[in-house]
Structure 1
Amino acid sequence: MRTKLENLSQRAPALRLWGFAAAGVVAAGVAATALTPPSVSHAQAQSPAAVAAARGLPDFADLAEQISPSVVNIRTTVRNGGANAGPGRGGAPEGDEEMQEFFRRYFGVPPGQMPGQPGQPRRGGPRQQQPGAEEETPRGVGSGFIFSNDGYVMTNAHVVDGADEVYVTLTDKREFKAKVIGADKRTDVAVVKIEAAGLPAVKIGDVNKLRVGEWVMAIGSPFGLESSVTAGIVSAKARDTGEYVPFIQTDVAINPGNSGGPLLNLRGEVVGINSQILSRSGGYMGIAFAIPIDEATRVADQLRGSGRVVRGRIGVQIGEVTKEVAESLGLGKASGALVRGVESGGPADKAGLEAGDIVTRFEGKPVEKSSDLPRLVGNTKPGTKATVQVFRRGATRDLNVMVAELEPDATQKAQAPAAGGKAAPAAAAASMGLGLADLSDAQKRELKVKGGVRIDSVEGSAARAGLREGDVILAVANTEVADIKQFEAVVAKLDKSKPVSVLFRRGEWAQYALVRPTTSR
């Protein structure tokens, strides 16, 4: 097993984020803890000062005993071998393409070489099976926790994704077939229900009070080893990893199978759901991520109520605001969300938002980085009239937008502007490496803009800034340009020793570039 894991690490040297519901695997690991440094004698270790120092360290024993009954093991199965088995589902377990890929991805070994989980259906040799009958095959193992005493269990969406059956095992060894109430892939939160009452539910903590450096503990089933307890500290909060939620980063040992298990503070309150790890090999390397429990609870409440999550949307495509762009626009600091595109006829369009605007606040809450805006909008009930503060050409203004409902997997098509217009000589533009053309009336109607200039050729400093042929320049140095004449007038007044901000449109999306005009020496 060790060799295989090492080989996997070698084949995948890049850092990756892994969700980690472990397939039916048992692996044992041993951790050695040095209780006393070698340089400290036994007498010194027993000194009052040493004892007092030791008493200052957290003791997780009572906490583990208290919380463990609320943590469950979750195993999932798929049905194989039936006459109606679909593609990728039929045949013996060892021939299942999903399982093969899962084992290859995490462990670098074929599933047939991996031992089965205690309590799972036996994965021995071929079984005699009646024609048309279906057989349950182990698919994965994860964790979860009871958050209401009437049988609701919270876990990760990827733990139950693709499963035909879900089984929940309590610490007293009782096993229940669970019903998936709902799963939300955007936040990786799922709720399942078992038919039981009087269960020990967890206490929900306050993530806002969680501090970096604070001790936390995790309980789960790494590699199927049920009720495993690990501990560490909070490494960071509101960590962006490209996901929808601001993760809690910890150094708690988390491995495949810990998915969906609780992250707890020293008061025994759940502050997060262990969800992902940053790893070169698929195993723990000191960086783990948990979904903040306030985000998870908000999703779980909707899943319990309707089986799905309703989110708000305003119809914008956004990007980051860099330090250089912020300085060139006079924004002060690199914060906010750059509006790169506005959906035609969408809520933002109707409210007057424009490509190039920088959203600085939403409903009075600051937008520090671009990822803040989707969370704030998503948590707003559709039908709400919200106030959006934007920074536009050196000034802030408030706009009122009616929040709509986010549709699953909604995509917008980007269209390149049609060719047209005639290139005109432009000295200032040429100094930046640009060949420009005015937009025709048809192009303006197609792009839904009042003015702008199209780039017919690009080289030098403009090319180095990322501008391309076909881009449409909408503004220069915070000033709108309707045509080449106005572009030339604006650029002619600029300090040629400083970079100039250029708001341009590529397809449906707008963005800023910083161009440093070439100066003579």
Structure 2
Amino acid sequence: MTHTLPSFRRKLVAAVLVVVSPTLALAQAPAAPKPPAPQTQQAASGQAGNLQPATREAQSLASLAPLVESVKSAVVNVDVQARPEVPEGMEDNPLFDKFFGGGNGRGRGRSEREQIRQGAGSGFIIDPKGLVLTNNHVIEDAVTITIRLDDGRSFTGEVVGRDPLTDVAVVKVKEKVDQLPTVKLGDSDAVRVGDWVLAIGNPFGLASSVSVGILSARAREIGASVYDDFLQTDAAINPGNSGGPLFNMKGEVVGINTAIVGGGTGIGFSVPSNLIKALLPQLEKEGSVTRGWLGVGIQPLNRDLAQALKLPVSEGAILTQINPGSPAAKAGLKADDVVVAVDGKQVRSDSELTRTVALKKPNSVTTLSLYRDGKKQDVKVTMGTRPDLEGLTKKKPEAADEQDSSRRVGVSLQDLDARTASQAGFTERAGALITDIIPGSPADRAQLAPGMLVVEANRKPIASAKELAAAIRAAPKGSTLLLRVAGPGGGRLLRALTVP
């Protein structure tokens, strides 16, 4: 069956396992492609003259056992006790049964759902003193964290830093250790589509499980955040693999296994190691990630637009809006400028520009290569700081009535204040700012996301979180709210939110 993009996105499942009573028959992994079987010397020599070089290279992979033995001791199980929030009306949702436990949990009350749940994911050690990399969604809302090694040892873990926007987290062993096995972060840009890759993790609580496949694609955008840049692989990744390593054939980690497409399709996604290496110093030192910010609205350049703008290139990012007072405005950037490179690195799309700018340090000077009125020029920009929308949620808790309404559809809200509007580049000065979305909730299925600003509900203006909460509360069960949402830098979209 061919799925549309919204349907495809809804099937993306964070590959984290909640241990209740694993039932393997309900989640069979697709058969992982096996490396070619070793040949006898006679057979190999008899056929060598008829084989292409690439085929001979593949047939030389007699066994991956030496590689597995050299790295698996550094792969760990991450056991978590967490206290999740489940939105009202989601008690019978099978996705929540899968991730929050419950088997046949029909008819259970919300108080039971709010009890501590037991979850498990994977991770890997990058420092002999016990520094572990994993996914943010594995350790999010954790009350306790236990790190279990392949040799049976267990340690208490604590969060050092996390970045929800890329789903990366750093955990350290609290006990004093100095000789733990480690693995090295490799160069994810060097791995080619078609190269062999190896995944090790704890799917369904089955420790140290190994699967093999190839790199299927690069730079995949799956709707997880504006910074999506995933590696795609067909190596079997299942619930419980989240946070585990994806290795190249040198035994280097080229990605953190993060998400899968449901239905046993054999499609998994990993955060590239080069992105992890860029974030790691901040996560270790600051506990969070501060990103560069331009303050512009953007869209991709295509051939038709390139022809209309009389450009000699057809790849890049068009600046559609320059926010007043932003770093872009101060640098003299203009609407319809087309950015084609940042500090000499080619930019092929709007999403690539977003990711590249985000990795720049605030207050650093960056050179943008762009076309203006058909002529190429370089412009120096002093980077600003991207606002921390997630942090604002903690500073301004929702009122009780807003919590009840937002839990019903799985969204957290707050008012838009002048400071946030200015930092985030909103042209609006009022609305309900989305600060969090519960995976699998009605809000998630409506493709709402943190950082969006709801300005209308059923064609009526929304000036605050309280007003949107009231609209959700008043909506009949099973009805659909037509929401108009704005993003930083301008541009509006419609979203259809079904109220359970």
Does structure 2 conserve the Cα–Cα contact (< 8 Å) formed by 1:178 and 1:192? yes
Which of 183, 189, 212 is 2:168 aligned to?
Answer: 189
For 1:485, the equivalent position in structure 2 comes to none
SS of the equivalent of 1:112 reads coil
Task: Give 1:55 deviation, angstroms.
Answer: 5.4
Between the aligned partners of 1:313 and 1:33, the Cα distance in structure 2 is 41
Describe the superposition over 1:406-442 as per-residue Cα deviations: whole angstroms up to 9, x where unpaired. Answer: 22125333359xxxxxxxxxxxxxxxxxxxxxxxxxx
User: Within 5 Å, which residues of 2 pair with 1:108-127?
Assistant: 111-113=101-103
RMSD: 3.5
Describe the superposition over 1:176-206 as per-residue Cα deviations: whole angstroms up to 9, x where unpaired. Answer: 2211011101111100010232100102212
User: Within 5 Å, which residues of 2 pair with 1:263-412?
Assistant: 263-279=246-262, 281=263, 284-409=264-389, 411-412=424-425
User: Within 5 Å, which residues of 2 pair with 1:425-464?
Assistant: none
Between the aligned partners of 1:106 and 1:61, the Cα distance in structure 2 is 37
For 1:67, the equivalent position in structure 2 comes to 71
Task: Give 1:249 deviation, angstroms.
Answer: 1.2
SS of the equivalent of 2:270 reads strand
Task: Give 1:73 deviation, angstroms.
Answer: 0.5
Supply the AA of the counterpart residue of 1:339: L
Count of residues in correspondence between the two structures: 369
Task: Give 1:210 deviation, angstroms.
Answer: 1.0
Does structure 1 conserve the Cα–Cα contact (< 8 Å) formed by 2:367 and 2:379? yes
Does structure 2 conserve the Cα–Cα contact (< 8 Å) formed by 1:245 and 1:295? no
Supply the AA of the counterpart residue of 2:124: F
Supply the AA of the counterpart residue of 2:221: D
For 2:213, the equivalent position in structure 1 comes to 232
Between the aligned partners of 2:129 and 2:34, the Cα distance in structure 1 is 42
Describe the superposition over 1:48-103 as per-residue Cα deviations: whole angstroms up to 9, x where unpaired. Answer: 32698795235111111221110000111136xxxxxxxx66xxxxxx76997698
Normalised to the residue count of structure 2, the TM-score between the two structures is 0.66
For 2:42, the equivalent position in structure 1 comes to 48
Which of 116, 123, 139 is 1:137 aligned to?
Answer: 116
For 2:458, the equivalent position in structure 1 comes to none
Describe the superposition over 1:432-486 as per-residue Cα deviations: whole angstroms up to 9, x where unpaired. Answer: xxxxxxxxxxxxxxxxxxxxxxxxxxxxxxxxxxxxxxxxxxxxxxxxxxxxxxx
1:326/1:510 CA distance change after superposition, 3 Å: farther
Supply the AA of the counterpart residue of 1:19: A
1:139/1:341 CA distance change after superposition, 3 Å: farther
Does structure 1 conserve the Cα–Cα contact (< 8 Å) formed by 2:35 and 2:63? no
SS of the equivalent of 2:116 reads strand
Supply the AA of the counterpart residue of 1:68: K
Supply the AA of the counterpart residue of 1:48: Q
1:394/1:197 CA distance change after superposition, 3 Å: same
Between the aligned partners of 2:343 and 2:285, the Cα distance in structure 1 is 26
User: Within 5 Å, which residues of 2 pair with 1:158-237?
Assistant: 158-194=137-173, 195=175, 196-237=177-218
Between the aligned partners of 2:353 and 2:256, the Cα distance in structure 1 is 23
User: Within 5 Å, which residues of 2 pair with 1:15-30?
Assistant: 15=9, 16-25=11-20, 26-28=22-24, 29=28
Supply the AA of the counterpart residue of 1:74: V
SS of the equivalent of 2:427 reads coil
1:114/1:70 CA distance change after superposition, 3 Å: farther
Question: Gaps spanning 5+ residues in structure 2: where?
Answer: 48-55, 106-113, 390-422, 430-486, 493-500
Question: Gaps spanning 5+ residues in structure 1: where?
Answer: 1-8, 38-44, 80-87, 90-95, 116-134, 417-505, 512-521
Which is worse superposed, 55-64 or 190-199? 55-64
Task: Give 1:114 deviation, angstroms.
Answer: 7.8
Task: Give 1:290 deviation, angstroms.
Answer: 0.9
Does structure 1 conserve the Cα–Cα contact (< 8 Å) formed by 2:31 and 2:236? no
Task: Give 1:334 deviation, angstroms.
Answer: 2.4
For 2:132, the equivalent position in structure 1 comes to 153
SS of the equivalent of 1:300 reads helix
SS of the equivalent of 1:172 reads coil
Between the aligned partners of 1:35 and 1:272, the Cα distance in structure 2 is 20
1:110/1:267 CA distance change after superposition, 3 Å: closer
Supply the AA of the counterpart residue of 1:162: D
Does structure 1 conserve the Cα–Cα contact (< 8 Å) formed by 2:132 and 2:171? yes
1:98/1:221 CA distance change after superposition, 3 Å: farther
For 2:237, the equivalent position in structure 1 comes to 254
Structure of larger gyration radius:
1
Supply the AA of the counterpart residue of 1:251: D
Task: Give 1:507 deviation, angstroms.
Answer: 12
Does structure 1 conserve the Cα–Cα contact (< 8 Å) formed by 2:124 and 2:244? yes
1:175/1:100 CA distance change after superposition, 3 Å: farther
Between the aligned partners of 2:255 and 2:143, the Cα distance in structure 1 is 27
Does structure 2 conserve the Cα–Cα contact (< 8 Å) formed by 1:385 and 1:403? yes
SS of the equivalent of 1:159 reads helix
Between the aligned partners of 1:154 and 1:169, the Cα distance in structure 2 is 13
Between the aligned partners of 1:197 and 1:31, the Cα distance in structure 2 is 39
Task: Give 1:32 deviation, angstroms.
Answer: 7.0
Normalised to the residue count of structure 1, the TM-score between the two structures is 0.64
SS of the equivalent of 1:349 reads helix
1:508/1:264 CA distance change after superposition, 3 Å: closer
Between the aligned partners of 1:507 and 1:296, the Cα distance in structure 2 is 25
Task: Give 1:238 deviation, angstroms.
Answer: 2.4
SS of the equivalent of 1:401 reads strand
Between the aligned partners of 2:369 and 2:154, the Cα distance in structure 1 is 52
Task: Give 1:110 deviation, angstroms.
Answer: 8.1
SS of the equivalent of 2:118 reads strand
Supply the AA of the counterpart residue of 1:169: R
Does structure 1 conserve the Cα–Cα contact (< 8 Å) formed by 2:185 and 2:252? yes
Identity %: 38
For 2:95, the equivalent position in structure 1 comes to 105
Between the aligned partners of 1:137 and 1:507, the Cα distance in structure 2 is 36
Task: Give 1:104 deviation, angstroms.
Answer: 2.3
Describe the superposition over 1:22-64 as per-residue Cα deviations: whole angstroms up to 9, x where unpaired. Answer: 1114233587799999xxxxxxx87832698795235111111
For 2:426, the equivalent position in structure 1 comes to 413
Task: Give 1:245 deviation, angstroms.
Answer: 4.1
